[in-house]
């Protein structure tokens, strides 16, 4: 496997850091290849705007998708975006490693998606969902969060973690064609004992090796929808 890890945590000594280092070591030892974009370490700039481009299609009105399509045609992406696009093309597996902040991606990682998943090259013109650009590749979230599992259950105070991650799993990964694997979750790492933490890190080191054989989340397919993008009554449940 060629594995691309997007790592988003401001403290390299964090549990998130330990998970990414364990994944790299385990994958490399098993003969896989790994690239990592450590967003804090790279000083990634997450604000999407004219800086995304070296080209300008319309100088009087900034419409991002229009500029993205033009930059796709003209090779007009800023070097930081171009480098990420090349790593995405290279990989078979994409992993987002992050702490759940306000029930979503840290801004630095949301802005990696906002800037790198460009219309033209990555989606548009019928390329989306199971006909998406990354069809045949796999992606998943590896997430730490501050409360116990029960709090993130369907009847838990914070709501179902699968509902919370739906905009990422379905709206980001599946939208661009990835097969989406179940998330790897660690609850309240700060409350674990040292030996519990080591056990979870060892578990994750094994977990990443099973990426190729893990069953993806079953989402509906484009063929399950009518011309108005509403599911046909006989379609599978999502």
Interface with its own copies: number of residues (CB under 8 A): 55
- Is residue 229 at the binding interface for its own copies, with CB under 8 A as the rule? yes
The gap between the terminal CA atoms of the chain, to the nearest Å, is: 28
Give whichever of 82 and 153 is closer to its own copies, judged by the CB atom. 153
By CB under 8 A, name the one of 102, 136, 213, 215 that touches its own copies: 102
β-pair type (93-99, 138-145): parallel
Q: Please choose, out of 77-85, 88-96, 97-105, 200-208, the segment that lies near its own copies by the rule CB under 8 A.
A: 97-105
Q: Does 54 bind its own copies (CB under 8 A)?
A: no
Per the CB < 8 A criterion, the answer to whether 219 and 176 are in contact is no
- Binding status of residue 10 toward its own copies by CB under 8 A: yes
**Shortest separation between residue 33's beta carbon and its own copies, angstroms:** 27
Give the nearer residue to its own copies in terms of CB position, either 74 or 238.
238
Inter-residue contact 217 to 209 (CB < 8 Å): no
What value does the CA radius of gyration of the chain take, rounded to a whole number of Å? Answer: 19
CA-based nearest residue to 238, from 223, 226, 221: 221
Per-residue DSSP letter, 101:
B
Task: Verify binding: residue 222, its own copies, rule CB under 8 A.
Answer: yes
Taking CB under 8 A as the criterion, the residue among 2, 40, 85, 216 binding its own copies is 40
**223 forms part of the interface with its own copies (CB under 8 A):** no
E strand or H helix that includes residue 181: none
Q: What is d(CA 151, CA 184) in angstroms, rounded to the nearest whole number?
A: 16
Q: Does 49 bind its own copies (CB under 8 A)?
A: yes
21 exposed, middle or buried (CB, 10 Å; 0-12, 13-18, 19+)? middle
Cα 113 from Cα 111, distance rounded (Å)? 5
> Segment 192-221, which members bind its own copies (CB under 8 A)?
220
Residue 106 is a binding residue for its own copies (CB under 8 A)? yes
Reduce the DSSP state of residue 35 to 3 states and report it: strand
For residue 155, state whether it binds its own copies (rule: CB under 8 A). Answer: yes
Please report how close the Cβ of residue 84 comes to its own copies at its closest, in angstroms: 14
Residue 63 as a binder of its own copies (CB under 8 A): the answer is: yes
How many C-beta atoms surround the C-beta of residue 42 within 10 A? 15
Note the residues at the interface with its own copies (CB under 8 A). 10-11, 13, 40, 44, 46-50, 61-64, 101-108, 110-111, 113-114, 117, 129, 147-148, 150-151, 153, 155-159, 163-164, 166-168, 170-172, 175, 220, 222, 225, 228-231, 238
């Amino acid at each position: 496997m060629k594995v691309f890890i997007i790592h988003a945590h401001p403290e390299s000594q964090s549990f998130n850091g330990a998970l990414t280092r364990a994944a790299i070591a385990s994958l490399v030892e098993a003969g896989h290849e790994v690239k990592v974009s450590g967003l804090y370490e790279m000083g990634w700039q997450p604000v999407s705007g004219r800086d995304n481009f070296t080209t300008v299609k319309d100088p009087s009105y900034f419409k991002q998708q229009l500029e993205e399509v033009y930059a796709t045609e003209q090779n007009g992406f800023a070097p930081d975006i171009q480098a990420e696009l090349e790593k995405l093309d290279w990989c078979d597996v994409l992993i987002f490693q992050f702490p759940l902040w306000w029930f979503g991606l840290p801004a630095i990682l949301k802005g990696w998606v906002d800037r790198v998943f460009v219309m033209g090259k990555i989606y548009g013109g019928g390329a989306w969902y199971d006909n998406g650009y990354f069809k045949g590749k796999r992606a998943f979230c590896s997430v730490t969060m501050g409360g116990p599992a029960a709090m993130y259950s369907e009847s838990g105070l914070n709501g179902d973690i699968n509902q919370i991650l739906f905009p990422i799993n379905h709206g980001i990964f599946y939208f661009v064609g990835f097969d989406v694997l179940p998330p790897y979750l660690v609850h309240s790492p700060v409350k674990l004992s040292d030996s519990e933490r080591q056990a979870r890190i060892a578990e994750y080191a094994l977990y990443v090796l099973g990426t190729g054989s893990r069953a993806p989340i079953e989402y509906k397919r484009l063929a399950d929808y009518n011309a108005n993008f509403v599911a046909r009554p006989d379609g599978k449940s999502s």
